[in-house]
Amino acid sequence: MSHPIDAASDRTSRPRRPSWSGRRKGAIASLVVLVLLLLPNVGPILRPYYAPSTSMVPTLVAGQHFMVSRVAYGYSRNTFDLFDLPISGRWPDWQPSRGDVIVFRAPFDHKIQYVKRVVGLPGDRVQLVGGRLSINGRLVPRTPLPPASDPLQPARKVASYRETLPGGVSYTILEMAGDTGPL
């Protein structure tokens, strides 16, 4: 005796693919979330920046665009440009480490932003001695590298070094000039 095929159970036993409109809604929702996360001046996680000068060459070239994590050291009252958060201090209170490249606002004008490398930590004494970086009275070790092109005058060669901070973080620097005086 033959049994009739149950069409309803046959349909439910196969995995259903989302409809075209369902996939489109999912893609749109993902795009909206991505835009909100990356939205300049508001994005809570990442923000696009650019290197405004040659001060970080060769790590960053003037005009180079890069993304900055807004959560790396926690949030503060001034994390966002369009509004202030109702908190004091930093939450959570994560601290930068030597070698981190950070973006921060100038204390005298919050419209100006700097891109710099952290070389000293609270309590450290940081100096330039004869054009060399000194931390707590000790010159930071550096290894000579082949000469590099001056970013402002590419035909001109400048000294290049691999500098190593206490704790082992190292990076390349270009020696554009000698002692530039007090910081």
- Rounded Cα distance between 69 and 62, Å, is 20
Nearest to 58 by CA among 165, 176, 174, 181: 174
- Residues assigned a catalytic role: 55, 116
* Average pLDDT of every residue of the chain: 80
CA distance 177 to 164: 20
Of 158, 181, 155, which is closest to residue 58 (Cα–Cα)?
158
Ranking 84-88, 92-96, 127-131 by mean pLDDT, the lowest is 84-88
Kindly report, residue by residue over 43-93, the tens digit of the pLDDT. 667 778 888 888 899 998 888 988 888 778 777 776 666 667 777 777 677
Distance CA 121, CA 97 (A): 7
Higher pLDDT pick, 10 / 20? 20
pLDDT band at 147 (very low <50, low <70, confident <90, very high): very high
Can you read off the two tokens belonging to residue 124?
Answer: 């450290």
Determine the average pLDDT of the residues in 99-126: 90
In 3D, which of 182, 175, 103 has the Cα closest to residue 140?
175
pLDDT of residue 124: 96
Structure tokens at 99: 């070698």
